[in-house]
Chains A and B, each alone.
Chain A
Amino acid sequence: DARVTQTPRHKVTEMGQEVTMRCQPILGHNTVFWYRQTMMQGLELLAYFRNRAPLDDSGMPKDRFSAEMPDATLATLKIQPSEPRDSAVYFCASARVTGAAGELFFGEGSRLTVL
């Protein structure tokens, strides 16, 4: 079965450290999403890409977060410097988006703890 793969699954780091999360979308999908899940805010959309081009990153704190797609098989989400409030589960999802809204396929998430 095709799956979205995320690494690392778990990350514990200290405040101020750089964190990079990686995502391999499903082959053939043209859109990649980054969501963050916390108890307080639920699932928030951070950024997304269509055909590797960023479409919207308004959900991200710009001063410390950055998202890129260096190629069609890799999406990255970087936090520098990390803060305790960034502790959350970060999900990558991919989809083949045409005129009709399709199903998003989610990875297993990267659980980040910033001490």
Chain B
Amino acid sequence: AQKVTQAQTEISVVEKEDVTLDCVYETRDTTYYLFWYKQPPSGELVFLIRRNSFDEQNEISGRYSWNFQKSTSSFNFTITASQVVDSAVYFCALSESGSSNTGKLIFGQGTTLQVKP
């Protein structure tokens, strides 16, 4: 069965600190996709990144970076020099792919990030 675990329920940092959100997943699929979504206080889930299981290169987008390690089944998300606007709930998610692709996402429980000024 597929499962996504975000062990950190809440994280609080002071602005400009770096912060890493952990995500560990379980799947028997050899082909799968991993996602991160952000849910700001307004409530809408906003897509941040998609990574397929064959691409283990780390990715950087501005202050955001993602570390995918297949060996440890982890897909961690780091925010560098955090800002108050980064305060949100962040969800990691897993999707099937290939012949078993249904498109549905299995979400972790989310990590609430609070960035204090």
Contacts and interface: CB of A to CB of B under 8 A. Distances in A.
Interface of A: 31, 33, 42-43, 45, 48, 50, 55-56, 89, 91, 93, 95, 97-109, 111
Contacts of B35: 103-104
29 contacts: A31-B103, A33-B103, A42-B109, A43-B110, A48-B103, A48-B104, A55-B102, A56-B102, A56-B104, A91-B45, A97-B101, A97-B102, A99-B97, A99-B101, A100-B52, A100-B97, A101-B32, A101-B33, A101-B50, A101-B95, A101-B96, A102-B103, A104-B35, A104-B47, A106-B37, A106-B45, A108-B42, A108-B44, A109-B43
Question: Closest 6 A-B residue pairs measured CB to CB?
Answer: A97-B103, A101-B95, A101-B33, A106-B45, A43-B107, A42-B109
Contacts of B104: 33, 45, 48, 56
Interface residues of B, number: 27
Nearest to B91: A43
B99 to A, nearest CB: 8
Interface string B8-50: 0000000000000000000000001101010000111111001
Nearest to B109: A42
